[in-house]
Structure 1
Amino acid sequence: MYLKWQRTETTFLCITEAAKVVSIRTGAPKRLWTCFEKGPGSFPGVPFNNGCIRVDIKRVSVDSNSCSTNVSRSCATSSHENIAKADEAFSLGKDLTGQEVSQVRSWPMGSTEGSPNDLLTLLRAASTTTASGVTAQRAVVACISVYQDLPRSVDRGAFWQLASRNLGPRRSEIDAAIRTWNELSSRGEEGDGSDAGQATLRGAKLLQDACQPPYVTLFRRIAQQPEGIQLLVRMREDMLEEAGRAAAASAPVRAMSESLRTLLSDWFSTGIMRLERISWKTSPAALLEKVVAGEAVHSIRGWRDLRRRLGRRKRLFAFFHPSMPEEPLVLLHTALTDSVAARMADVLLPSEEEDEAPGVASGRPERGPSDRQRADGGPTVTTAVFYSISSTQPGLRGVELGNFLIKQAAQELQREIPTLQMLVTLSPIPGFRQWLEERMHRELQGEEEDEQGAGLARMRRQLLTDAEASRCLEVLPHTAPSGRRACCQAAAVASLSEALSSDEWRANPKALDALKPILMRLCAHYLLRERRRKSALDPVANFHLRNGAWLWRINWDADASNAGLSRSYGMMVNYRYILDDIEQNNRNYTEEGHIAASNNVMELLPNDN
């Protein structure tokens, strides 16, 4: 067979004997999917899969017009007539863009008879519940092939725009199902016994089926393919990227992504997940590399840093899924200490004990913290500090895995370490600095209404107390006020905003002494009072409070890294997990919005309770 490649800018179109557009590549092609009317026996030695064979292109010479290369002598030469038909089927022009994906008129399906003539028909064949098993299977395989061949995220985003708008909820079928439900319900009310119950169940089933978008069927069929669930995770990542790129026009994509999230939540339930401890000594290097790449809270600076985080008094737990056995889905870093850590330096700075990494550097067997305490009189481990939890799969955003990982890891640690008394986190406050900067900007602009909820309605309209404003004007550079209280407040907020615009104030002892109590109070207000509906505005706070944790302590100068300063001026929080309180705290928070906070935190808000 001769494969003819036509060139327009950097887009290449491959045409086969059956006049099929089989592959679109940007740049020099390396391999392609192609399809034939003949069966697998016609091409001995060539992998055959559901009507598609994979052909590796060794050499392709391209000039300004066209070229051809011989791949297999057993295939016939493409006719000029079929090439002309293919040119009609697909309009060659500029480089393929996302807008042109839906214009493709022919995709590999394994045979010409009954094959869809465009991408939308292919998607419908893969998602309809009325298609035969063989037809649906071939359509799903072809959809996967098409999707994986799309070269850029923009093109994949257009794929999901097309799917979400045409495979979404069907209004006419839902309306018909509602009418049927009403008829069967009224008929059931007139009947009695089992007949009434059967009519109600039948109407409910029809309504349930009508409300299920066709793309849900597509997702389930993809999940049944080899490595299908892993592919769906990557597909949802592309959906989320498209939803963020075109927010105004992405409501259908967001709805489709949410439907897939619901399915993934079932497929990634905790009963299926496997908890595993990752160690420097026993875990493979490929897995350790994924740990380094997946750390999202406190970046790991090379192998030495990683080895320190896997030392004797550290634990790293991860969740794995049977469909992705080599991919750690969520990572939980834990430090074993004799007190509640207040700074990242307490858990990350090198020490003789961690740097030696017994069992690795010295070749001795690794011992637990209780063994070491008995052997050398070191401090007894009483506290487990969860200082970093990271999801490595963007496509699993919104699938609750981290909360179950913390609870299972806590149970594992309690079994391992009998002296363990406290389970706490050392957590970032990712939204505080941005919130305060926006709040100061609104204050200076005279905006007294908070658009995100009722938090500021409960807070006094002025950002600073009178004492805080006076203190700012004493210590920080400012424009002299005219004497009125409102002007003093505005001048103080302006001076505070100017001082916090850089981190130079941290090197000024007077400014540091003045700003510490102000920022600590504002941070407590942000965590306790600022809400999105009933939930805490800060995403990390919302995560731990939904899990049933206590807001235990706010720590000053806990993370002096660039990331820590940009998130929250270096402050961090301890959330405490008391296993007996988790259920009640979770219920109070999710149902009433009540946050369980310690006296240490509440005392930071003497006039804001």
Structure 2
Amino acid sequence: MSPTISGLLNQISRKARELLESREGTAVERLLQRCHELVSSRGEASGLALASDVFEAYAAFDDTERLEFWLATEAQLGVDRSALLGAIDDYQADPEADPVWVHNASEPRRQELFRRLNSAPDGTVSLIRMRESLRGLALPAATAKRIHSDFVHLFSSWFNKGFLELRQISWQTPADVLEKLIRYESVHEIQGWDDLRRRLAKDRRCFGYFHPAMPDEPLIFVEVALVKGMSGAIEPLLSAGEIDPEDADTAVFYSINNCQAGLAQVSFGNFLIKQVVEVMRHTTPQIKTFVTLSPIPGLKRWVDSDPERCARQQAGDEPFVGLCIEYLTSFERGRLIDPVARFHLGNGARLERINLSADSSEAGQSRSFGAMVNYLYEADTIVKNHEALMARGEVAVSPKLKSHRRAPVAALRTKT
């Protein structure tokens, strides 16, 4: 931004702030006035200054003021019901009319506010942080759902795959980005810089998506280990000595991390995995197998909720594997119960292998009794598997896992 434009914006913003502070009403009421002015503003420079002023005022609010602000946006910047009903009546009276008027009337005015706010310097990042702030607020469930929906609707367009840049992250990546990997890793904690160096060694790969609006902030990243054979436990994978990548035949995706809480429900991972597979097929042609080593986050909770499942879990390895398969292939309200299974199987992967005692960490024990799973990505079957799941609810399962049969409950109870 040139000094002249920057100075003009600062001048306008300063005058706007003076006007805001001179008005009557609470801080929240004054901010809402600015939001209405921003939505109706026609001047580009004044709109930029107004947007910056809104972000600055909101950032200074405490949680009570933020809660009041969002409740007020629901009342003042939600859907204009009278305008929507009028547009529907007009369309019913003239079905040949352009239905865009109904669409426009059905859109909450809050979405237009977000669009205008996005024009501010660093507006996209500020909106993401604004959405993050919602997490600690005691909003009514229906109101929170509508506000999140407005954010997700716009973010899904702004963070479309066409705008995302895939980058390989290495030890030569700028330190501020590497620091964020340590901070954002939530699956298998990175134990400082030495641990990070190992995860970026020559037999490892790390890829992330970045967006032009926030070039130094990863949106999501995946960590990959090049190994011999399919890994069945996380501790040996993390601590193994370095090998020559030319000797590896398998790529194991062992950690996928969404980095921006404000972008929750905006999907990146389904693009990321498939694109990384394609990149590695060309850059590391000796790699023939692409699998994950994934947690089963809801398994223990699901087992503990039913006495019969508890009995099966305690009856031995074979019954427990069968229980894991049942959980990973079970649906509730039309979708797979387990979120990680939902992600990978929905991407077209195959449920390949259950690994018992694969994660001895406290987190691994608390979420799945230490069990982990391999999902297999095969380029030739990804589309078929995805379509079978979406169209018919058929889960792709390896022949070996298909052979497992649920042991009779009476026999399990005898053993326990």
- The TM-score with structure 2 as length reference comes to 0.88
Structure 1 pair 46–583 and aligned structure 2 pair: CA distance change class (3 A): closer
1:551 positional shift: 0.9
Of Structure 1 and Structure 2, the greater helix share is in 2
1:556 positional shift: 0.7
Q: Is 1:159 matched up with 2:69?
A: yes
1:536, 1:224 → 2: CA distance?
39
Match of 1:388 in 2: 255
How big is each residue's C-alpha offset from its partner over 1:81-132, in whole Å with a ceiling of 9 and x where there is no partner? xxxx97x946xxxxxxxxxxxx337xxxxxxxxxxx733332222234xx43
1:136 positional shift: 4.6
Contact 1:161/1:253 (<8 A) preserved: no
In structure 2, the residue corresponding to 1:304 is in which secondary structure? helix
1:221 positional shift: 0.9
Structure 1 pair 293–153 and aligned structure 2 pair: CA distance change class (3 A): farther
Q: Is 1:341 matched up with 2:303?
A: no
After superposition, where does 1:278-317 map in structure 2 within 5 Å? Answer: 278-280=169-171, 282-317=172-207
2:135, 2:339 → 1: CA distance?
18
Residue identity in the other structure for 1:51: S
Q: Is 1:583 matched up with 2:380?
A: no
1:606 positional shift: 4.3
1:145 positional shift: 2.1
Match of 1:209 in 2: 104
Contact 1:429/1:540 (<8 A) preserved: yes
Match of 1:408 in 2: 275
1:421, 1:46 → 2: CA distance?
58
Match of 2:401 in 1: 601
Structure 1 pair 398–183 and aligned structure 2 pair: CA distance change class (3 A): same
1:550, 1:254 → 2: CA distance?
33
Q: Is 1:172 matched up with 2:82?
A: yes
- Structure 2 residue runs of 5 or longer lacking an equivalent are 1-6, 409-416
Contact 1:46/1:53 (<8 A) preserved: no
Residue identity in the other structure for 1:285: A
Q: Is 1:125 matched up with 2:87?
A: no
Q: Is 1:223 matched up with 2:90?
A: no
1:283 positional shift: 1.3
Residue identity in the other structure for 1:519: F
Match of 1:149 in 2: 60
How big is each residue's C-alpha offset from its partner over 1:274-315, in whole Å with a ceiling of 9 and x where there is no partner? 1111112x1122211111001010001111111111112110
Contact 1:548/1:581 (<8 A) preserved: yes
2:159, 2:8 → 1: CA distance?
36
1:47, 1:142 → 2: CA distance?
10
In structure 2, the residue corresponding to 1:385 is in which secondary structure? strand
Contact 2:353/2:373 (<8 A) preserved: yes
Hey, which bits of structure 1, 4+ residues long, moved more than 6 A?
none
Residue identity in the other structure for 2:168: R
- How many positions carry a matched residue from both structures? 399
1:395, 1:525 → 2: CA distance?
33
Q: Is 1:104 matched up with 2:27?
A: yes
1:540 positional shift: 0.5
Residue identity in the other structure for 1:271: G
Structure 1 pair 273–560 and aligned structure 2 pair: CA distance change class (3 A): same
1:147 positional shift: 0.9
Q: Is 1:254 matched up with 2:149?
A: no
Of 201, 214, 222, the match for 1:324: 214
Residue identity in the other structure for 2:333: R
2:391, 2:9 → 1: CA distance?
57
In structure 2, the residue corresponding to 1:271 is in which secondary structure? helix
1:294, 1:183 → 2: CA distance?
54
Match of 1:419 in 2: 286
Larger relative CO (CA 8 A, sep 6+): 1 or 2?
Answer: 2
1:54, 1:294 → 2: CA distance?
37
1:53 positional shift: 7.3
Match of 1:7 in 2: none
2:223, 2:67 → 1: CA distance?
34
Match of 1:52 in 2: 14
1:410, 1:165 → 2: CA distance?
47
- The TM-score with structure 1 as length reference comes to 0.61
In structure 1, the residue corresponding to 2:306 is in which secondary structure? helix
Contact 2:224/2:253 (<8 A) preserved: yes
Of 132, 152, 158, the match for 1:267: 158
Of 311, 317, 341, the match for 1:516: 317
1:569, 1:303 → 2: CA distance?
30
Contact 1:164/1:253 (<8 A) preserved: no
1:49, 1:589 → 2: CA distance?
57
How big is each residue's C-alpha offset from its partner over 1:391-432, in whole Å with a ceiling of 9 and x where there is no partner? 110011111101111111111111111111111000000000
Q: Structure 1 residues 583-592 or 394-403, which shifts more?
A: 583-592
Structure 1 pair 47–593 and aligned structure 2 pair: CA distance change class (3 A): closer
Residue identity in the other structure for 1:212: E
1:589 positional shift: 1.4
2:49, 2:167 → 1: CA distance?
37
1:586 positional shift: 1.4
- Structure 1 residue runs of 5 or longer lacking an equivalent are 1-44, 56-84, 91-102, 106-116, 189-199, 355-367, 371-379, 441-462, 465-492, 501-510
1:325, 1:174 → 2: CA distance?
39
Contact 1:425/1:575 (<8 A) preserved: yes
How big is each residue's C-alpha offset from its partner over 1:65-92, in whole Å with a ceiling of 9 and x where there is no partner? xxxxxxxxxxxxxxxxxxxx97x946xx
Structure 1 pair 318–206 and aligned structure 2 pair: CA distance change class (3 A): same
Match of 1:573 in 2: 373
After superposition, where does 1:24-103 map in structure 2 within 5 Å? Answer: 48-52=10-14, 89=24, 103=26
2:64, 2:343 → 1: CA distance?
32
2:128, 2:24 → 1: CA distance?
33
Structure 1 pair 137–322 and aligned structure 2 pair: CA distance change class (3 A): closer
In structure 1, the residue corresponding to 2:221 is in which secondary structure? strand
Residue identity in the other structure for 1:561: S
Structure 1 pair 254–127 and aligned structure 2 pair: CA distance change class (3 A): farther
How big is each residue's C-alpha offset from its partner over 1:502-550, in whole Å with a ceiling of 9 and x where there is no partner? xxxxxxxxx7xx4333322221111112x22221111111011111111
Contact 1:123/1:163 (<8 A) preserved: no
1:154, 1:250 → 2: CA distance?
17
In structure 2, the residue corresponding to 1:579 is in which secondary structure? coil
1:532, 1:394 → 2: CA distance?
25
2:11, 2:341 → 1: CA distance?
49
Q: Is 1:557 matched up with 2:354?
A: no
How big is each residue's C-alpha offset from its partner over 1:474-520, in whole Å with a ceiling of 9 and x where there is no partner? xxxxxxxxxxxxxxxxxxx5xx59xx9xxxxxxxxxx7xx4333322
In structure 1, the residue corresponding to 2:294 is in which secondary structure? coil
1:350, 1:153 → 2: CA distance?
46
